[in-house]
């Protein structure tokens, strides 16, 4: 079977598409899930990053498939339900072709999910882009899955210093220029 010519963008969620309401760009986007601040319905305390809604609409209008992959500390169906609640609450469900969770404790978890998306949706990996704010969990996952990968520069995630010269870096998601 030949590969679909469709283009796709796979996004991380926390820190890439959305952040805790009121949090600045330099604070950890997963802070609402840690310690005494853990909230069962944390999706109620999230806001889209500026410009993301229109950016996703424009990608859809250009024919891109859009997926979200989130590393989640809670295994199984509960993680997927929480991710779905975030997507619905942020009013982007109609813009997304699929959403998936990986095991948050496994640095390679997203890589496997990305490979599954490419295979299951019959995509050509050369036409797939992974975008995230974690060098090790997002950027490397995309590279290791064989897709194009972009890293959103930040001060809160561990990353090599200096970044390798071949890393495709953007400041914010709306800086992404996909072909």
pLDDT at residue 23 is higher than 70:
no
Q: Can you give the pLDDT at residue 41?
A: 45
Higher pLDDT, 146 or 106: 146
DSSP state of 175: G
Alpha helices in 1-158 (DSSP H): 52-61, 77-89, 109-120, 140-145
> Of 28, 23, 18, which Cα lies nearest the Cα of 158?
28
pTM of the model: 0.87
Alpha helices in 36-102 (DSSP H): 52-61, 77-89
Q: What is the mean pLDDT of residues 135-148?
A: 96
Question: How far, CA to CA in Å, does 113 sit from each of 84, 101, 102, 119, 137?
Answer: 16, 8, 7, 10, 12
Higher pLDDT, 19 or 113: 113
Two tokens, residue 101: 């969770």
67-99 pLDDT tens trace = 999 988 766 788 899 899 999 999 999 999 999
Higher pLDDT, 178 or 136: 136
24-74 pLDDT tens trace = 565 555 555 444 444 444 556 799 999 999 999 999 999 999 999 998 876
Percent of the chain with pLDDT over 90: 56
Q: Where are the domains of the chain?
A: 8-175
Among the four given CATH numbers 3.40.50.1000, 3.50.50.60, 3.40.190.10, 3.40.50.300, the one describing domain 8-175: 3.40.50.1000
pLDDT at residue 1 is higher than 70:
no
Q: Can you give the pLDDT at residue 37?
A: 47
């Amino acid at each position: 079977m030949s590969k679909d010519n469709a283009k796709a963008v796979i996004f991380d969620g926390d820190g890439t598409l959305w952040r805790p309401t009121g949090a600045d760009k330099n604070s950890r986007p997963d802070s609402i899930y840690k310690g005494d601040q853990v909230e069962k319905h944390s999706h109620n305390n999230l806001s889209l990053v500026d410009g993301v809604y229109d950016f996703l609409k424009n990608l859809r209008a250009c024919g891109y498939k859009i997926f979200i992959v989130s590393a989640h500390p809670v295994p199984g169906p509960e993680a997927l339900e929480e991710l779905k609640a975030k997507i619905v609450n942020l009013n982007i469900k109609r813009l997304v072709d699929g959403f998936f969770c990986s095991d948050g404790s496994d640095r390679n978890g997203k890589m496997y999910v990305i490979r599954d998306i490419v295979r299951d949706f019959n995509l050509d990996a050369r036409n797939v882009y992974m975008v995230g704010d974690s060098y090790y969990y997002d950027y490397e996952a995309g590279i290791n899955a064989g897709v194009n990968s972009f890293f959103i520069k930040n001060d809160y995630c561990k990353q090599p210093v200096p970044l390798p010269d071949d890393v495709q870096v953007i400041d914010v998601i709306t800086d992404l220029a996909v072909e």
